[in-house]
Each structure stands twice: as C-alpha cells, then as structure tokens.
Amino acid sequence: MNLLSVETRNEVCVITPRGDSLSTRDNLDELSRETHAIPVGSDVIVDLANVSRDYQEWVGALIAMHRLVTAAGYKMVVFGSRNGMAEKLAITRIDKIITLVETEAEALAEVSV
C-alpha cells in the first residue's frame, strides 16, 4: 500500500506520508506496519506537507517513529505542517517530545547539531 515514502537525503532518512487521510482501519494497520519497518540507521526528518487534515490520525505514528528512532540513538524532527497543524499538534503536547520546525532546512539543521 505504501503510505510512507522513505528516502535518504544528505545522510538523513526523510519520511513523507503519501496520503492525507488514514480513515480506514486497514490504512491505520498498514501505517503501523510501515512505521515499524522503517530502516533506522540515521537521524530522521518527517515531512508532513502532504497532511492537511486528520492530523490526529498521525499522532500515534509520529510517536511510534520517535520511539524507534530514539531507541536506536538517533534524532527525529518533524517539519512541513500546514493549515495550523503545528498548533493542533502542540495541543496534544507532542511538541514536548518531538521537535517541530517549519522547513526542511530547519529540520536538517536540528539533526546535524
């Protein structure tokens, strides 16, 4: 199904959700499988530019990704949220455990520190 695009740029793993909505149970199950299959061998940045609604469906995936990445000793930064999504994510207090920035350049700067 491939709900996530995973590629390497500048020695950093870049994860980009391919779709906006995870409205079915099958999609949520697939996202869980794909999240746990991410090859963690470097820092990770997650590009949320394709997610404009149903942000709450991505919260669990972001937390799972963060656990995998930090357990492997790497950093994870999320960028590209739009339509007030960063503020909505902050309401969930996810910004207390996951770094949220606006641009890819800021995300790359965060993981290269």
* CA 96 to mean position of chain CA atoms: 15
Q: Read off the pLDDT of each residue in 58-67 and give the average, rounded to a whole number.
A: 83
Which residue, among 74, 85, 8, 2, has the nearest Cα to 43 in the 3D structure? 74
Q: What is the pLDDT of residue 93?
A: 84
5-51 pLDDT, tens digit each: 888 888 899 988 876 555 555 676 777 788 778 878 899 999 988 87
Return the pLDDT at 9. 82
CATH number listed for the domain at residues 4-111? 3.30.750.24
Candidates 19, 12, 11; CA nearest to 61 is 19
What's the confidence (pLDDT) of residue 89?
74
Task: Provide, rounded to the nearest whole percent, the portion of the chain with pLDDT above 70.
Answer: 81
For residue 38, how many other CB atoms are within 10 A of its CB? Answer: 17
In the chain, the percentage of residues whose pLDDT exceeds 90 is 22
pLDDT in tens, 75-104: 999 998 776 777 777 787 888 888 989 899
pLDDT at res. 26? 62
pTM for the model stands at 0.84
